Chains A and B, each alone.
Chain A
Amino acid sequence: MTSADKPTMIEFKDVHKYYGDYHALRGINGKIRAGEFFSLLGPSGCGKTTLLRTIAGFEDISSGAVLIDGKSMANVPANVRPTNMVFQSYAIFPHMSVAENVGFGLRRDPRSKAEKAKAVEEALEMVGLKGYGARAAHALSGGQRQRVALARALILKPKVLLLDEPLSALDKKMREHMQVELIKLQRQVGITFILVTHDQEEALVMSDRIAVMFEGEIAQLADPETLYRRPNSKKVADFIGTMNFIPCEIVSEAGEHVTVDAKGLGRVDLDIGQAPPARGEAPVVGLRPETLTLLYPGQTATERATEGVIDEVIYFGDMTYYDVYLGGTDVEVRLSMRNVPGRPVLDVGTKVQVAWSPSALVLFR
């Protein structure tokens, strides 16, 4: 990732937030870089929206500091912060036209009326709503409302654009379409985007970096690939995508190497990089479904292979998921196979060989 050398746009320094007795944010630390597409990802109630709202200035923090572009935001009210927000409900002003909504933030702008109208037209064009200015705001569809909300927030050229679950109200097709549009838009304007979402797929697709949050804390802050391939805890691994967890015993640990005996897989040598810091939990190894491969007749494993029996077949059209019992044990793993020609969908009860690579394993302990 080349964004590593970009300057810091937002910094959290030990941010705590209490609602009465409820500890909503428990010591948030971290930096968001300028020009980055950053996501706050977590289940509902994890504090991601609260954290976003502390950036916008809608939520006071109990202790710690939020810095935007190096300046502390303590005692800086929302209306003068260099951030703009796209709300979950879009918050389109229902008594105004589309153009009035988009131009709302320009009310205090000293530019002439004609220049402002031009700015509004440009903002509408940017979000693909050219010529919609005169329409009544309430007559728009969900996707159009969202574009208006985007144009309204971007017209002020904020340093940071905050997006609070902006796609959750759209249907699947529209959501996927808007994901791509948002990425394109972010590249075009170069503004730091901070997205709050509970949809891990959406976060992986859109973000340069993601902070995964649980119970008011950041569990892991990393780029999507690291999060997916090297989650630092079982909880993160479970939240992002699907992961098979296989109980194991740690046989030996010396320097850079850890040897484990995993049920059904046997003895495996791992690099220390595949074992995030110990948490004192019962040791398990994790494997993503796509790192396991069914061997068809005539194929051989390049690294390791284990026998198994198919217990369940789930057909998805382009993919088939198989649940397989490993090596005569009660350990069941899910694996996914692309449905390409010459690769028939197998039946329940078929005895199979499952190929896998030790380097795909992650050890949680």
Chain B
Amino acid sequence: MKRGFGLKSYALLYLLFLYAPILILPLFAFNAGTVVSFPLKGFTTQWFGEMWADQNLRQALGRSLIIAFSTATISTILGIFAARASVRYRFPGKGPVFGLILLPMVLPDIVVAMALLVVLLSLGVTLSIGTIIMGHVLLCMPFAVAILTSAFQSLDKSLEEAALDLGETPWSTFRLIILPLVMPGIIASFLICFTISIDEFVVANFLGSGKPVLSVYIFGQFRFPAKVPAMLALGTILVAFSVCLLAIAEYFRRRGIAKTGGKDSGGFL
């Protein structure tokens, strides 16, 4: 027996355990049977058609996309300000401020959702897509700030000073030097916030207005056995979509490194 066999098989089992359930999704999404069980009954694309014909689902998807896009944009822009302040400036109360920004990362979502709901209702705010975006920004900010802080940190301060020295204003320096160099971080932050928002369930359920977003809609559909295969079809599409997003993020990350001549140290793919 070769050395390291035990560890190799452990790694294999681990990966299998992690990804096998996800591989079940496409398997049954293309299965002709209405029940999710073996043996398979033959190939069909019927569930994809059924899924697409579902008016409510399309509306839920639309809402989710609006929320995810807005959340990712707002979180990333706020994250740029916070990361810049965190890396470049010293000010009183900096530690506590950044501690509070990062806190939602460890707070249970349900606590955040309940607290927000209580506050919003007592303020008389009507629940809508807007309130969900608000909650999602709160949840995404820690990730945006963490990603962008590391992007800003790897930037040599003399690059900024050199641009100032060569006659640029602080704003044009930001636009011409800083922004292009942290762009991979900005794209990564946007994509991560987008994916966090689009599959978030708790806050979306609590702060929603009764018109469900995608995650809430899927959860609701699972109560009807007849709808399950269509949801599996939807799941298959979401998995494919996630893999694509990840690949894009990785592409930009690598291109960013190649452009600046840095050494590749890790990454997702």
Instruction: Give the docked Cα–Cα distance between A212 and B168 (Å).
Output: 33
Q: Name B166's contact: one of A136, A139, A152 (CB within 8 Å).
A: A152
List of A residues within 8 angstroms of B166 by Cβ: 79, 84, 104-105, 152-153, 156
Q: Measured between C-beta atoms, what is the minimum distance from B91 to chain A in Å?
A: 14
List of B residues within 8 angstroms of A138 by Cβ: 259-261
- Considering only residues 119-136 of chain B, those with a C-beta below 8 Å from chain A are none
Q: Name B168's contact: one of A58, A79, A85 (CB within 8 Å).
A: A79
List of A residues within 8 angstroms of B167 by Cβ: 79-80, 105, 107-108, 156
Q: Name A93's contact: one of B162, B165, B169, B262 (CB within 8 Å).
A: B162
List of B residues within 8 angstroms of A56 by Cβ: 161, 165
| Contact across chains for A95 and B164 when beta carbons are under 8 A apart | no
List of A residues within 8 angstroms of B162 by Cβ: 85, 87, 91, 93, 152
**Count of chain B residues with a beta carbon within 8 Å of a chain A beta carbon:** 19
Q: Report if A95-B259 is in contact (Cβ < 8 Å); known contacts: A79-B168, A80-B167, A89-B156.
A: yes
Q: Report if A79-B165 is in contact (Cβ < 8 Å); known contacts: A94-B181, A95-B259.
A: yes
Residue A220 interfacial (CB < 8 Å): no
Q: Measured between C-beta atoms, what is the minimum distance from B171 to chain A in Å?
A: 11
Nearest residue (CB) in A for B177 is: A93
Residue A88 interfacial (CB < 8 Å): yes
Q: Name A136's contact: one of B168, B261, B262 (CB within 8 Å).
A: B261
| Contact across chains for B158 and A95 when beta carbons are under 8 A apart | no
Nearest residue (CB) in A for B155 is: A94
Q: Report if A87-B161 is in contact (Cβ < 8 Å); known contacts: A80-B167, A104-B166.
A: yes
Using an 8 Å CB-CB cutoff, how does the interface string of B214-229 with A read, 1 for contact, 0 for none? 0000000000000000
| Contact across chains for B158 and A87 when beta carbons are under 8 A apart | yes
Residue A345 interfacial (CB < 8 Å): no
Nearest residue (CB) in B for A137 is: B261
| Contact across chains for A94 and B161 when beta carbons are under 8 A apart | no
List of B residues within 8 angstroms of A108 by Cβ: 167
Residue A78 interfacial (CB < 8 Å): yes
Instruction: Give the docked Cα–Cα distance between A108 and B172 (Å).
Output: 11
| Contact across chains for A93 and B159 when beta carbons are under 8 A apart | yes
Q: Measured between C-beta atoms, what is the minimum distance from A125 to chain B in Å?
A: 20
Scoring A83, A85, A91, A108 by chain B CB atoms within 10 A of each residue's CB, the highest score goes to A91
List of A residues within 8 angstroms of B260 by Cβ: 94-95, 138
Scoring A83, A84, A88 by chain B CB atoms within 10 A of each residue's CB, the highest score goes to A84
Using an 8 Å CB-CB cutoff, how does the interface string of B240-268 with A read, 1 for contact, 0 for none? 00000000000000000001111000000
Nearest residue (CB) in B for A56 is: B165
Residue B196 interfacial (CB < 8 Å): no
Nearest residue (CB) in A for B160 is: A91
- Considering only residues 43-97 of chain A, those with a C-beta below 8 Å from chain B are 56, 58, 77-80, 83-85, 87-89, 91, 93-95
Using an 8 Å CB-CB cutoff, how does the interface string of A144-175 with B read, 1 for contact, 0 for none? 00000000110010000000000000000000
Residue B163 interfacial (CB < 8 Å): yes
| Contact across chains for B161 and A58 when beta carbons are under 8 A apart | yes
List of B residues within 8 angstroms of A78 by Cβ: 161, 164-165
- Considering only residues 162-201 of chain B, those with a C-beta below 8 Å from chain A are 162-169, 177, 180-181
Using an 8 Å CB-CB cutoff, how does the interface string of A103-138 with B read, 1 for contact, 0 for none? 011011000000000000000000000000000111
Q: Measured between C-beta atoms, what is the minimum distance from A31 to chain B in Å?
A: 23
Nearest residue (CB) in B for A104 is: B166
Instruction: Give the docked Cα–Cα distance between A144 and B162 (Å).
Output: 17
List of A residues within 8 angstroms of B181 by Cβ: 94-95
| Contact across chains for B161 and A104 when beta carbons are under 8 A apart | no
Instruction: Give the docked Cα–Cα distance between A80 and B164 (Å).
Output: 9
List of A residues within 8 angstroms of B161 by Cβ: 56, 58, 78, 85, 87, 91
Instruction: Give the docked Cα–Cα distance between A78 and B166 (Å).
Output: 9
Instruction: Give the docked Cα–Cα distance between A141 and B260 (Å).
Output: 14
List of B residues within 8 angstroms of A84 by Cβ: 165-166
Q: Measured between C-beta atoms, what is the minimum distance from B142 to chain A in Å?
A: 28
Instruction: Give the docked Cα–Cα distance between A263 and B209 (Å).
Output: 96
Nearest residue (CB) in A for B256 is: A95
Instruction: Give the docked Cα–Cα distance between A59 and B169 (Å).
Output: 16
List of B residues within 8 angstroms of A88 by Cβ: 158
Nearest residue (CB) in B for A138 is: B261
Q: Report if A91-B261 is in contact (Cβ < 8 Å); known contacts: A79-B164, A152-B166.
A: no
List of B residues within 8 angstroms of A58 by Cβ: 161, 164-165
Q: Report if A91-B156 is in contact (Cβ < 8 Å); known contacts: A85-B162, A136-B261.
A: yes
| Apart from A88-B158, A89-B158, A138-B261, 10 more pairs, CB < 8 Å | A56-B161, A79-B164, A84-B165, A84-B166, A85-B165, A95-B260, A105-B166, A107-B167, A136-B261, A152-B166
Question: Which 9 pairs between the two chains have the least Cβ-Cβ distance?
Answer: A138-B261, A105-B166, A91-B158, A91-B162, A94-B260, A87-B158, A78-B164, A79-B164, A85-B165
- What would 28 A/B residue contacts be, using CB atoms closer than 8 Å? A56-B161, A77-B164, A78-B164, A79-B164, A79-B165, A79-B166, A79-B167, A79-B168, A79-B169, A80-B167, A85-B165, A87-B162, A89-B156, A91-B156, A91-B161, A91-B162, A93-B162, A93-B163, A93-B177, A94-B260, A94-B261, A94-B262, A95-B260, A105-B166, A152-B162, A152-B166, A156-B166, A156-B167
Which A residues contact B (CB, under 8 angstroms)?
56, 58, 77-80, 83-85, 87-89, 91, 93-95, 104-105, 107-108, 136-139, 152-153, 156
